Amino acid sequence: MDAIQIEGGPRLEGEIRVSGSKNASLPILAASLLTSGSSTFHNVPALNDIRTMCRLLELLGAEAELPAPAPKGSRRKADPHIVKLTTKAIKDTTAPYELVKTMRASVLVLGPLVARHGQARVSLPGGCAIGARPIDQHLKGLEAMGAKIVLEHGYVTAKAKRLRGARLVCDIPTVTGTENLMMAAALAKGHSTIENAAREPEVEELARVLNKMGARVRGAGTSVIDVDGVDELHPIEHAIIPDRIEAGTFMVAAALTRGNVLVRDCLPEHLDAVIAKLRSAGATVTAESGGIRVKGPTTILPVDITTQPFPGFPTDMQAQFMVLATRAKGQSVITENIFENRYMHVQELARMGADIMIEGRTAIIRGVPRLTGAPVMATDLRASASLILAGLVAEGRTEVLRVYHLDRGYERIEKKLRPLGARIKRVKGRM
Ligand code: EPZ
């Protein structure tokens, strides 16, 4: 397995480009099941999760070209960030356990399959490192639209001749739950409302794509979404929005290392809560044409953070800010409200000298004068990002093991950080 080796210390300076959003791409690729014909998506991040989703869509009967072939006659090489999906007939409606267990976002094929094909058999995703992550809200909504749901042998089977519009009230805002129900409602007969909907930018982006396909979705980005079902959708071409969590991760890297970095191709309006907390930590954050510039402070100030659904502080940035807090002058308090086990990075940071105490969902972080490099273990996607960040400021060498977790959500992070001055490289054959 690969590991990433970092020699800590250098200030990061220069420009870094953000890839397309993983969490926008996954539902959008799944939405291709709602229509027949060929859709082309640009600015798709070249990540393992994207390849997994394409593999799943092919199992269901789609043809995935990743990367899409270069235009006829052009001398350019195929761009790995362009995906072409052709869905003629659905040949299978089962999302198998061996695939779903590697990527729980596979559950995003559930809504489209029932809506377009009248049935779906999807392995229950099971838990993951950060929590139980049930899908009861997805199923409750599909049932309200007339689907017959059966749970057996570790699979959920959903069947409906044709879904009918309904009033769907989520007990809690769920991102993929809202996305699944929006896709299902797009082809249902009649009008649906999704109340207590998730407001994440990735939900809004999916609604933009569905409307481009001919759907009639209104209110995405607010907590009440209206959908007038239509009989048919058509294929499209679309460029995916930038990844706000990758952008936030790079912004923290600049703040941590007293750097001066322009994070390109990101949208400030997707990062309000993150920018506010970076400023509280003493960083200078300014919008510039084409991105956001972050200058790290000489002294990092402590920050208190409570993760919330969007537009609150994102749980996907919690681990990264914890690293910032380990280097702050004073005590910070972080409360993780979204997932019940999203502190797997804490023990690894402690091995680098961090002073962190966990009490239930709350972490109390006392800033320390220095972190020291060490071999550390990645456990989940954002935890592994936090270990890379810690390695950038730790004294000596840090080796982050099992970086396949990292590769799920960050496109070759070492290649992106090296031009900024980071002493970082990927090494093969580590356990
Ligand atoms: C999405 O996961 C993201 N993944 C996650 O990003 C992100 O952390 C999460 O939203 C929260 O923002 C994708 O978009 C592919 P939820 P999702 O349903 O949809 C509970 C990353 O690092 N819940 O919004 O699975 C659930 O247990 C990943 O890129 C139910 O109880 O998250 C959690 O406590 C990690 N029942 C809370 O809601 C349900 O039916 C929010 O989960 C659904 C969710």
pLDDT tens-digit series, residues 297-314: 999 999 999 999 999 999
Torsion sign (Cα): 378, 380, 381, 383: negative
The pLDDT assigned to 275 comes to: 98
Index of the ligand 1 atom closest to the CA of residue 139? 40
Predicted pLDDT at 429: 81
Radius of gyration of the chain (CA): 22
Q: In this structure, are strands 3-7 and 423-427 parallel, antiparallel, or unpaired?
A: antiparallel
The amino acid occupying position 50 is I
127 pLDDT higher than 80: no
Place of tokens 């109340």: 195
Q: What is the pLDDT of residue 73?
A: 80
pLDDT value, residue 346: 97
Spell out the residues 6+ positions from residue 128 whose beta carbon is closer than 8 angstroms to its own. Answer: 104, 380
Closest atom of ligand 1 to 172 CA is 38
pLDDT for the residue 125: 82
Residue type, 83: V
Ligand 1 center to 373 CA (angstroms): 32
Say if residues 42 and 240 touch (Cβ distance below 8 Å). Answer: yes
pLDDT, tens digit, for every residue of 345-380?
999 999 999 999 999 999 999 999 999 999 999 999
Please report which confidence band the pLDDT of residue 78 belongs to, taking 50, 70 and 90 as the band edges: confident
Confidence of residue 69 (pLDDT cuts 50, 70, 90): confident
Place 209 in a pLDDT band, splitting at 50, 70 and 90.
very high
Rounded to the nearest whole angstrom, what is the distance from the C-alpha of residue 229 to the centroid of ligand 1?
25
Residue nearest to atom 18 of ligand 1 (CA): 174
* pLDDT at residue 136, as a whole number: 94
Q: From 44, 103, 110, 176, give the residue whose CB has the most ligand 1 atoms within 8 Å, as the site to mutate.
A: 176
Banded model confidence at residue 129, pLDDT cuts 50, 70, 90: confident
- How many Cβ atoms sit within 10 Å of the Cβ of residue 100? 22
Given a cut of 80, whether residue 71 has pLDDT beyond it is no
pLDDT average, residue stretch 129-145: 90
Token pair recorded at residue 114:
């029932």
Average pLDDT, the chain: 95
Query: What digits encode the pLDDT tens for the residues 7-37?
Result: 999 999 999 999 999 999 999 999 999 999 9
Structure tokens at 154: 């570790």
- Atom 8, ligand 1: residue with shortest CA distance: 316
Residue showing tokens 């940035």: 317
Distance of CA 85 to the CA centre of its chain: 21
Of 279 and 88, more confident? 279
Element (DSSP H or E) covering residue 359:
strand 355-359
Give Dmax (Cα) for the chain.
63
Task: Please give the CATH number for the structural domain made up of 3-19+242-427.
Answer: 3.65.10.10
| Both tokens assigned to 267 | 């949208």
Q: Read off the pLDDT of residues 375-405 as tens digits, 9 standing for 90 and up.
A: 999 999 999 999 999 999 999 999 999 999 9
Instruction: For residue 310, give the nearest of 338, 280, 290, 288 by alpha carbon.
Output: 338
Mean pLDDT of 87-91: 87
104 vs 26, 49, 96, 163, 241, CA distance in Å? 11, 10, 11, 24, 22
Q: Show the ligand 1 pocket: residues with CB < 6 angstroms.
A: 23, 26, 105, 131, 133-138, 172, 174-177, 198, 202, 315-316, 338-339, 381-382, 409
Q: What is the pLDDT of residue 1?
A: 85
Is the pLDDT at 427 greater than 90? The verdict is yes
pLDDT tens digits for 107-118?
999 999 999 999
Q: Kindly report whether the global pTM for this prediction surpasses the value 0.95.
A: yes
Residue range 22-228 in CATH 3.65.10.10: yes
Question: Which of the residues are catalytic?
Answer: 128
Pairing, β 155-159 against β 375-377: unpaired
Nearest Cα residue to atom 25 of ligand 1: 176
In eight-state DSSP terms, residue 300 is P
- Kindly state the percentage of the chain with pLDDT values over 70: 100
How many CA within 13 A on the CB side of residue 21? 26
SS3 273: helix
Q: Where exactly does CATH 3.65.10.10 map onto the chain?
A: 3-19+242-427, 22-228
> Both ends of the chain: CA-CA distance in Å?
6
Which residues of 244-304 form beta strands (DSSP E)?
A: 260-264, 284-288, 291-295
- In whole angstroms, give the CA distance from residue 314 to residue 297: 23
**Following DSSP, what letter does each residue of 211-233 receive, concatenated?**
HHTT-EEE-BTBSEEEEE--S--
